[in-house]
């Protein structure tokens, strides 16, 4: 087994620069996909999120919303002022923030 590992490293030392840059590019793309990964919620999860959004809008309940940005995951806490089938507008201590529904990973009470 150690012989196999040593030959693997010998081969990698003889890689062309073009291949090394292509592998680095693929690794960077994979890391970006991992940062922007969004699990697909099931119906029960969507119903729970809908009830949380409605209670936040009508009663003023604070929510913690986890979402993906282009650079990775982010979390915001606040009260929902408005929402539709495309986006949610949240009032936070730092001002209003609009979040796309496609980027939301999780919603829970704060």
Q: For all residues of the chain together, what is the average pLDDT?
A: 84
pLDDT greater than 80 at residue 12? no
Buried b vs exposed e over 40-70: b needs ≥16 C-beta within 10 Å? eeeeeeeeebeebbeebbeeeeebebebbee
Pairwise CA distance, residues 65 & 85, whole Å: 16
Q: Among residues of the chain, what percentage have pLDDT more than 90?
A: 38
pLDDT at residue 11, as a whole number: 59
Sign of CA dihedral 21, 23, 25, 31: negative
CATH number for position 70? 2.30.30.100
For 62-106, how does the pLDDT look when each residue is reduced to its tens digit (9 = 90+)? 999 999 887 778 899 999 998 888 999 999 988 899 999 888 889
Determine the structural domain holding residue 96 and report its residue range: 43-109
Q: Say whether both 30 and 73 belong to one domain.
A: no
pLDDT at residue 1, as a whole number: 46
Q: Say whether both 60 and 97 belong to one domain.
A: yes
């Amino acid at each position: 087994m150690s012989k196999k590992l040593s030959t693997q490293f010998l081969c990698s030392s003889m890689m062309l620069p073009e291949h090394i840059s292509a592998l680095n590019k693929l690794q960077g793309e994979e890391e970006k996909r991992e940062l922007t990964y969004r699990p697909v919620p099931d119906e029960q999860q969507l119903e729970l999120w809908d009830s949380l959004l409605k209670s936040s809008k009508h009663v003023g309940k604070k929510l913690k919303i986890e979402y993906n940005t282009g650079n990775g995951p982010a979390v915001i806490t606040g009260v929902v002022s408005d929402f539709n089938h495309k986006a949610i507008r949240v009032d936070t201590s730092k001002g209003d923030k609009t979040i796309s529904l496609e980027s939301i990973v999780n919603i829970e009470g704060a």
